[in-house]
Amino acid sequence: MKKAPLVMLLLLAACVSYVHRQQEVQDAMQHYDQLIKKMDADSIALLYTADGDLGGIAQGRDSIRRFLSSFKNVRVLEVTSTTDSLAMTGDTAFQSGHYKQSGVMNEKDTFHVSGGYHAQWVWIKKEEGWRIKKMSTQPDTHQNN
């Protein structure tokens, strides 16, 4: 009979879901920024869910990979993002903020872009990580090139 409370405690502990921290999503976004700087289309695509949406331009990992691979003439020199808001509900996170990127196109033309972004992240248990379900960006209306 003394084993029953112990068994119940173990069962209860097994049913408790993991509570995600906002820092996990922040870290995932920093990783995304690093991959953007490298222009690693394969790894960026894998940060999306299988049916992920990149700004309505590309849906699904293969489409995202093909879209990003088309920027062979672009070298990103710097990328930063800041988070203005981050709301979490269970295994879903909604993040909004601002980004800045600078780089070189065709090995001669520099660019500087900035704007806002919105991302919906989901925790994929079997992949043990946060993945982007949807990411959209809105460039600032005044760009310095």
Q: What is the DSSP letter of 126?
A: G
pLDDT of residue 15: 46
CB atoms within 10 A of CB 145: 8
pLDDT of residue 126: 80
pTM: 0.82
Q: Name the residue type at position 19.
A: V
Q: Of 143, 129, 116, 135, which Cα lies nearest the Cα of 68?
A: 135
pLDDT of residue 9: 47
Q: Name the residue type at position 5.
A: P
Sign for the pseudo-dihedral over CA of 13, 17, 22, 24: positive
β-strands 92-105, 58-59 pairing: unpaired
What structural domains does the chain harbor? Answer: 20-138 (3.10.450.50)
CB atoms within 10 A of CB 67: 17
Bin 46: left if φ > 0, else alpha if -120 < ψ < 50, else beta. alpha
Each residue's pLDDT tens digit in the chain (145 positions)? 455 555 554 444 444 455 778 999 999 999 999 999 999 999 999 999 999 999 999 999 999 999 999 999 999 999 999 999 999 999 999 999 999 999 999 999 999 999 999 999 999 988 789 999 999 999 998 755 5
